[in-house]
Structure 1
Amino acid sequence: MIIQIVNPNTSAAMTAKLAAVARQVAAPGTEGRVRGSASGPESIESAFDEALALPGLLLAVAQGEREGAHGHVIACFGDPGLAAARELARGPVLGIAEAAMHAATLVAPTFSVVTTLERTVASAQRLVAHYGFERQCRRVRATGIPVLALEHAASDAALYARISAECERALAEDGSGAIVLGCAGMADLCQRLSDTLRVPVIDGVSVAIKLVEALVGAGLATSKRGDYAAPESKAVSGAMAAFVPPPALAHALA
């Protein structure tokens, strides 16, 4: 089984971190292929960043399809381009926010999200509502740490302490039973935080990889009826022409 994990930003350090997670959690017989975006911002922390990241993300999904990927993981907590990626893919495509929130409700009655900058809280709250977890999600909390700074969070005691303290406040003040980490850059902190806090701490990257494995193993693929049907072939002009799937791929998806 081949699962492609797409880093929709251009940070090489983030891509390397995702590769380490994939090696750790993938089952024997599963190849976790990690692909960083070839274009776009080095981190995604705003709607503008997300818009710039989408062409590179979709190009990566299309490339994975040509290389025979059985499923994909979009490794950004904003789940950017998820519906469009599902149109491009035959196998399942999971965003790490959706996967993490589902997992949280399976192991605890309530959860809090601990994320990066304050400006990302509103977008995470919209995802909570979109996925139908408003009753289970007690609060989305910001640590004030930029995405790129998380590269050092495992080794920087002060950064780790800020994240851990926000998780502790979530448990004490929100009454939550689990913590969802609101950034792929926090993936390497998951086990350490869980051991310290003694509650489930959920990294969406790991969970999404395992869920894609399960879906593919159960013989499930993305429906090509309705919203996730393959994109129709049409003329696209200018810079975006490079991101249209070739006719052979579009025909295979139809």
Structure 2
Amino acid sequence: MKILVVNPNTTRSMTGKIAAAARAVAWPGTEIIAVNPDMGPVSIEGYYDEAFCVPGLIEEVRKGADGGAEGFIIACFDDPGLDAARSITTAPVIGIAEAAMHTAALVGRSFSVVGTPARAVATIEHLALRYGFERHCRGVCAAEFSVLALEDPKSDAIRLLKSDIRRVVSEGRPDSIILGCAGIAGLSKALSHEFDLPVIDGVIEAVKLTESLAGLGLGTSKANSYAPPLPKPYTGIFARHALLGSGEA
């Protein structure tokens, strides 16, 4: 099974960290290919960054579909471009926020999200509402560090993250903690042990969900919502994104 993990930002060191976390939990027969676009923001922190990451993300999904990928993971906690990506492939496409929230609802009645950039808090709250988990969500904690600080071993990002977890566990008493950024991938096991409750990493959960769906032969429905885009010309710098044939990657 071949799964394409797309980091929608252009920071390759983060892509490498995400790839390592994904490969650590993948089945022996699963090939994890991790990529990032060569255009777009270096990190995704808010609506503006999210808008400009989507064209590069969709291009990577299209190339992955042409390369025989059997599942796709969008490795950004905003789940940017999720619906658009599902519209151009019959394979399963999983966003890491969606995967994390579903998993949290299976292991407890409540969760809190930590590590989310301040500008993305409203996005994550909206996703909890969209996915039907608003009653489970005890809150989204705005991180006091930037996404790129997670790539700097000299930064205080991990110390600040742990401080936020400690405070949220004490004040909100959630059943689990969700790590609200793909840049924190790979730390959930150690943090679960340290804080004695499930700490959920959406990258890891998305790998297992994608493997399960692909293994069951379940893909993205083309019946209605995710039917292929209508063939039509696109103009200007988006001309290459037009679907002029069957309408499906």
Instruction: Give the TM-score normalised by the residue count of structure 1.
Output: 0.94
Aligned to 2:198: 200
Matched residue count = 249
Higher relative helix content:
1
**What secondary structure sits across from 2:233 in the alignment?**
coil
How far is 1:232 from its partner?
1.0
**Is contact 1:115-1:121 (8 Å) kept?**
no
Q: Report whether the alignment pairs 1:32 with 2:32.
A: yes
Aligned to 1:146: 146
The correspondence of residues 86-165 of structure 1 with structure 2, limited to 5 A, is 86-152=86-152, 155-156=153-154, 158-165=156-163
Aligned to 1:14: 14
**What secondary structure sits across from 1:138 in the alignment?**
strand
How far is 1:144 from its partner?
1.5
Q: In the aligned structure 2, how far is the partner of 1:217 from the partner of 1:104? A: 22
Aligned to 1:63: 63
Instruction: Give the TM-score normalised by the residue count of structure 2.
Output: 0.96
**What secondary structure sits across from 2:197 in the alignment?**
coil
* Residue identity in the other structure for 1:20: A
Q: In the aligned structure 2, how far is the partner of 1:76 from the partner of 1:123? A: 12
Q: In the aligned structure 2, how far is the partner of 1:150 from the partner of 1:159? A: 6
Q: In the aligned structure 1, how far is the partner of 2:72 from the partner of 2:243? A: 16
How far is 1:247 from its partner?
2.5
Where in structure 2 are there 5+ consecutive unaligned residues? none
Q: Work out which of the residue numbers 224, 227, 231 in structure 2 matches 1:233.
A: 231
How far is 1:246 from its partner?
6.0
| RMSD (CA atoms) | 1.4
Q: In the aligned structure 1, how far is the partner of 2:58 from the partner of 2:68? A: 15
Q: Report whether the alignment pairs 1:78 with 2:78.
A: yes
What CA deviation, in whole Å up to 9, does each residue of 1:76-116 have, x standing for no partner? Answer: 00000000000011110000000000000111111000023
* Residue identity in the other structure for 2:160: R
How far is 1:150 from its partner?
0.8
User: Per the alignment, do residues 185 and 43 of structure 1 end up closer, same or farther by CA in structure 2, a change over 3 Å counting?
Assistant: same
What CA deviation, in whole Å up to 9, does each residue of 1:99-139 have, x standing for no partner? Answer: 00000011111100002322221111111111111111101
User: Per the alignment, do residues 46 and 157 of structure 1 end up closer, same or farther by CA in structure 2, a change over 3 Å counting?
Assistant: closer
Deviation larger for 109-118 or 46-55: 109-118
Aligned to 2:221: 223
**What secondary structure sits across from 2:86 in the alignment?**
helix
Q: In the aligned structure 2, how far is the partner of 1:180 from the partner of 1:151? A: 19
How far is 1:156 from its partner?
4.7
Q: In the aligned structure 1, how far is the partner of 2:169 from the partner of 2:89? A: 38
